[in-house]
Amino acid sequence: MGHLNGVPGWCIVVQRPIRSTVQIEQKTLASTRSNLAPGLPAARNPAPVEWRAQQGLVGYEAALALMERRAAAIAEGSASELVWLIEHPPLYTAGTSAKPAELIEAHFPVYAAGRGGQFTYHGPGQRVVYLMLNLKRRGADVRRFVVTLEEWIIRVLAAFGISGERREDRVGVWVRRPEKGAGREDKIAAIGIRVKRWVSLHGIALNVDCDLSHFAGIVPCGIDNPLQGVTSLADLGAPANMAEVDAALRSEFEPLFGTTDLRDRMSPLR
């Protein structure tokens, strides 16, 4: 198992068939990310990515189980790639680098996520996007995949009049908040992935209109700088419903990752 950690918010675990450990220093990781352009090579033998928006709240353990099954099937070539858009009930997840001291107060259930990184929050009003994509068919470049995920969210935010930005030392998408004071910025989207047999699991959490006070129970992604906080579309004065957000996500996904196939949300998902 290789860990690509060391940068706050860098929430990645790479699992390989042969055991190995990869240590990447923060300075090296930042410099290698800064040289990467977003966008992935076109997949060989491309087929549309299944696109599914789930209604209602999905339990975390059920979501993990489905991701594991689907990712295994994708690796075996018996299932199509999947982008799964859901909302969770209020909960915290702990990545492989989570420290007990970063769980300030467990207001909600805490789950081991199996991804890299520290603690994060999920709950109603937050669009969680789980991506099960075959990265081996797309260049087998995890760093470029993460940069492309950031670019995807930045383009989605632009559709709602918000200027999102990436940071070389912190994975995720950030928004400057000068009205709060000099140097202030808030995180609007977190990224946490796992790669198993070159298939991605987990993905992105975009704050749409969630209860931001729920983040107070943790140190999100290990970031404890007083100049940095969390925000949402609603908090920034750009209210949008999930259908509008989902439409923007799909529209901006295709130029970066390829075509999608919108499936009936009522049909069984396996």
CA–CA distance, 263 with 241 (Å, rounded to integer)? 20
Structure tokens at 90: 């209020």
As a 3-state breakdown, the chain gives helix, strand, coil percent values, each rounded to 5, of 30, 30, 40
Does the annotation count 210 as an active-site position?
Answer: no
Question: ∠ at Cα 192 (27, 223), nearest 5°?
Answer: 60
Element of type H or E holding 159: helix 142-159
Could you tell me how far CA 189 lies from the centroid of its own chain?
7
Q: Closest by alpha carbon to 88, among 63, 105, 69?
A: 63
CA–CA distance, 206 with 83 (Å, rounded to integer)? 14
Structure tokens at 159: 């559709």
> What are the distances in angstroms from CA 121 to CA 31, 93, 155, 196, 259?
29, 6, 23, 23, 30
CA–CA distance, 189 with 262 (Å, rounded to integer)? 24
Which one of 67, 204, 221, 230 is the catalytic residue? Answer: 221
Which residues participate in catalysis according to the annotation? 221
